[in-house]
Amino acid sequence: MIQHPGNVFVVSAPSGAGKSTLAQRLVRSVPDLSFSTSFTTRQPRPGEVDGRDYFFVDDARFDAMVAEGGLVEWVQVYGHRYGTGRDWLTGVLASGRDVLLDIETTGALNLRKAIPDARMIFILPPSAAALEQRLRDRGKDSDEQIRVRMQYARHELELYHAYDYLILNDDLELAYKQLEGVVQATRASRARMEPVARKILEGF
């Protein structure tokens, strides 16, 4: 298991639920919170930058990382593999900074085995119909791709009970406030603040 001074926050959601929008805003707004960049074997989409959006690698490199234990977790989704790099994650956490991981449900559950006290957050769409409409409005997927994404969304939603927090993204501002609230409350938890309290107590 990974030992870490920093906090680990995992955010999962069905595709189209608004997870990326919320996660990106959180990292921009909250100090000392780093966004974890996953490794993936899929090709970059237009506008994506290697090292910012993902670390794009081929199958051989990914296989080597798995064999060497270089990934904390990895999964296969829609025919491509995604994983979280162990060295990067442990390095950031050792510095005391918090890390936010935007990963799907299987990867999230695998990561919790390595980091049992990770805070697990699931973003809920308002409804199945609203989620499907959001996917159509994006204009990125064919009808068949949307059908597959909706099937996978149901699978992901069935795992909501494995998460510590469920945030309904019906109102974006309210959803963001709740997400930031989880981070701030975790930072103020007794487990995290006890060393500070003890040090203050020593001065009396």
| CATH H superfamily, domain 8-36+97-202 | P-loop containing nucleotide triphosphate hydrolases (3.40.50.300)
**26-49 residue pLDDT tens:** 999 999 999 998 999 999 989 999
Helix-strand-coil percent breakdown of the chain, rounded to 5?
A: 50, 20, 30
Q: Where are the domains of the chain?
A: 8-36+97-202
Predicted confidence (pLDDT) at residue 5 exceeds the cutoff of 60: yes
106's CB contacts (< 8 A; 6+ apart) are 75
**50-90 residue pLDDT tens:** 988 899 999 999 999 999 999 999 998 878 999 999 998 98
Integer-rounded Cα radius of gyration of the chain: 18
Pair of tokens at residue 15: 């595709």
**89-120 residue pLDDT tens:** 988 888 889 999 999 898 999 999 989 999 99
The residue among 183, 176, 178 whose CA lies nearest residue 22 is 176
| Percent of all residues in the chain with a pLDDT value above 90, rounded to a whole number | 75
**Could you give the CA distance from residue 88 to residue 71 in angstroms, rounded to a whole number?**
10
